[in-house]
Chain A
Amino acid sequence: RKEVEQDPGPFNVPEGATVAFNCTYSNSASQSFFWYRQDCRKEPKLLMSVYSSGNEDGRFTAQLNRASQYISLLIRDSKLSDSATYLCVVGSNDYKLSFGAGTTVTVRA
């Protein structure tokens, strides 16, 4: 089983729409959770950390469900600039982050 699995998409949504997607992880001892964003041929950039209580950053909301071992990301009021690949990242210990393959989101005008 893969360490981190994501729905690859693509999610093709109109501007202003809400889009949500999940990620599952296999290691129940995982300690830290993040969403990164990656634009084509660029480096991953931290979008937000994910906390057990769930957290929100502007139009972005992340949730963590430890019991079911999944993380979600919801984007409200999508902008054209939100078009990117969203990477689910899980820290299994102090020394390693495991990446999902990414979910591609395309926002159209």
Chain B
Amino acid sequence: EPEVTQTPSHQVTQMGQEVILRCVPISNHLYFYWYRQILGQKVEFLVSFYNNEISEKSEIFDDQFSVERPDGSNFTLKIRSTKLEDSAMYFCASSSTGNTEAFFGQGTRLTVV
């Protein structure tokens, strides 16, 4: 069964460092998303990406965040200068069309120290 894969599963980084979280969406999907979930809190939308550009982004997705689809398979989330409050589980998701169910990767747990 096709699945969304994310690497690494866990990343520890020092405050102020840049991190790149990687995702391989399901191969025939066209819509890509990043969500995050701070421990004990709800899943929050960060950004969606379609047709090689950002479709929508939330207030959380400020200038410190960027996304890229560098080739035909990977979808990355970069945080330029991490803060302690960026510590969370980051989920990548993809869907075949807009307005349909999204399938989630297993997440990257980011810990900023």
> Which residues of A are at the interface with B, using a C-beta cutoff of 8 A?
31-32, 34, 38, 41-46, 49, 87, 91, 93-102
Chain A-chain B contacts (Cβ-Cβ < 8 Å), number: 57
> Are B44 and A42 interface neighbours, CB within 8 A?
no
> Are B91 and A95 interface neighbours, CB within 8 A?
no
12 cross-chain CB contacts under 8 A: A42-B106, A43-B91, A43-B106, A45-B104, A49-B101, A94-B31, A94-B97, A95-B50, A95-B56, A95-B98, A97-B102, A99-B43
> Are A32 and B42 interface neighbours, CB within 8 A?
no
> Which residues of B are at the interface with A, using a C-beta cutoff of 8 A?
31, 33, 35, 41-45, 48, 50, 55-56, 89, 91, 97-107
Given A42-B106, A45-B104, A100-B42, check contact A91 B99 (CB 8 Å).
yes
Cβ–Cβ < 8 Å partners of A46 in chain B = 101-103
Nearest neighbor of A6 in chain B, beta-carbon distance? B42
In whole angstroms, how far apart are the Cα atoms of A97 and B100 in the complex? 9
In whole angstroms, how far apart are the Cα atoms of A102 and B33 in the complex? 20
Question: Which one, A43, A93, A101, contacts B42 given CB within 8 A?
Answer: A101
In whole angstroms, how far apart are the Cα atoms of A42 and B106 in the complex? 6
> Are B106 and A95 interface neighbours, CB within 8 A?
no
Cβ–Cβ < 8 Å partners of B45 in chain A = 96-99
